[in-house]
Amino acid sequence: MDDPLARALGARPFLVLDGALATELERRGADLRDPLWSAKVLIERPELIQAVHLDYFLAGADIATTATYQASFEGFAGRAVARAQAEELMCRAVALAAAARETFWSERRHRAGRVWPLIAASVGPYGAMLADGSEYRGRYAITDTELADFHGPRLAALARSGADFIACETLPCLREALVLARLLREFPGLTACMSFSCRDAAVDSEGEDIGECAAALDGFSQILAVGINCTPPRFILELLQRMRARTGKALLAYPNSGQGYDAGTKRWSGAAEAPRGERARAWYAAGARIIGGCCGTTPQDISELRVALALASGIST
């Protein structure tokens, strides 16, 4: 398949994903106390999203993840946003990342040792729309058909957005991953990565063996990479090892800061774990080829990751 992500994975020993968007927006003064979360900023302060994307590119990210994790037609409807405007906002999220990429790439000095950056259109789980922490529990009280009805229209909108690929993120269960994998067949030009939220070093948020989740997605050719995100760094190595034993696909890992999340207050608390740069070389050795950060991580973390991965792979930063 002639796909930007496939080409990049074939040409480079690793790709650096960006870090957190929502918590970084909050760190810069955005108020995300809303069920739309970071998608709220698409409406109110889009220039701030573009600035965060640019800072991640400058820090070493090869991939920008769009502000569409929490964006859904149902979520926007709850804010009285019409369907046509909701689709325009999703496409705006991709355009903001693309504009940051153009700004970054326009400086010749930024291109040394770098690949043309990619844009990943974020697709959060059904649980993200509920805004109650369900992406860390799963066990949705809806059918597969209802899940497909939720995800299908958003996939169709993002397929028209100009993103390089789709990033299905923080999936709490294999059932939702399989619904998304089957939906992708309706968009033969799309490729995707799929990553699960996990509650420990062995199972996803619903308690399913992570190796079995990886194996179940192996037959879907549009899925180019599988992995873990928004999971504490201390669990990542064993999870990757379990997945590596069951799949030949590229692996990705972008853990959160290791802090605890309170779904009621929608706040992260507690101490962050050791800098992920110290663990990145082990994740790379375990087979991860797309590595970045999730909630609570910053451009500084991404810069450290890039240096660590360059050392691990023996290439220049």
* pLDDT over 70 (residue 64): yes
Task: Tell me the two tokens of residue 251.
Answer: 């692996």
Structural domain tally of the chain? Answer: 1
Counting residues of the chain whose pLDDT is more than 70, the rounded percentage is 94
> pLDDT at position 259, please?
73
How confident is the model over 51-59, as a mean pLDDT? Answer: 98
Of the pLDDT bands very low, low, confident and very high (cuts 50, 70, 90), residue 278 is confident
Of the pLDDT bands very low, low, confident and very high (cuts 50, 70, 90), residue 186 is very high
Of the pLDDT bands very low, low, confident and very high (cuts 50, 70, 90), residue 272 is confident
**Which segment, 1-15, 226-240, 253-267, 271-285, is predicted with the most confidence on average?**
226-240
Summarised one tens digit per residue, pLDDT across range 124-175 is 999 999 988 899 999 999 999 999 999 999 999 999 999 999 999 999 999 9
How confident is the model over 96-105, as a mean pLDDT? Answer: 98
Summarised one tens digit per residue, pLDDT across range 211-263 is 999 999 999 999 999 999 999 999 999 999 999 999 999 999 999 987 776 65
* pLDDT over 70 (residue 289): yes
Instruction: State how far the Cα of 226 lies from the Cα of 224, in Å rounded to an integer.
Output: 7
How confident is the model over 2-31, as a mean pLDDT? Answer: 90
Domain CATH for 191: 3.20.20.330
Give the Å distances, CA to CA, from 228 to 49, 157, 186: 24, 25, 25
Of the pLDDT bands very low, low, confident and very high (cuts 50, 70, 90), residue 268 is low
User: What are φ and ψ of residue 264, in 5° steps?
Assistant: -70, -50
Give the Å distances, CA to CA, from 135 to 117, 155, 227, 230, 278: 28, 18, 15, 10, 27
Counting residues of the chain whose pLDDT is more than 90, the rounded percentage is 77
How confident is the model over 56-61, as a mean pLDDT? Answer: 98
Span of 98-107, 118-127, 230-239, 262-271 with lowest mean pLDDT: 262-271
Round the average pLDDT of the chain to a whole number and report it: 92
- Tally the C-alpha atoms within 13 A of residue 95's C-alpha that lie toward its C-beta: 11
* pLDDT over 70 (residue 90): yes
User: What are φ and ψ of residue 254, in 5° steps?
Assistant: -145, 85
Instruction: Print the domain residue range for 218.
Output: 4-313
Of the pLDDT bands very low, low, confident and very high (cuts 50, 70, 90), residue 43 is confident
Instruction: State how far the Cα of 91 lies from the Cα of 251, in Å rounded to an integer.
Output: 27
Task: Name the burial class of residue 305, with classes exposed (0-12), middle (13-18) and buried (19+) by CB atoms within 10 angstroms of its CB.
Answer: buried
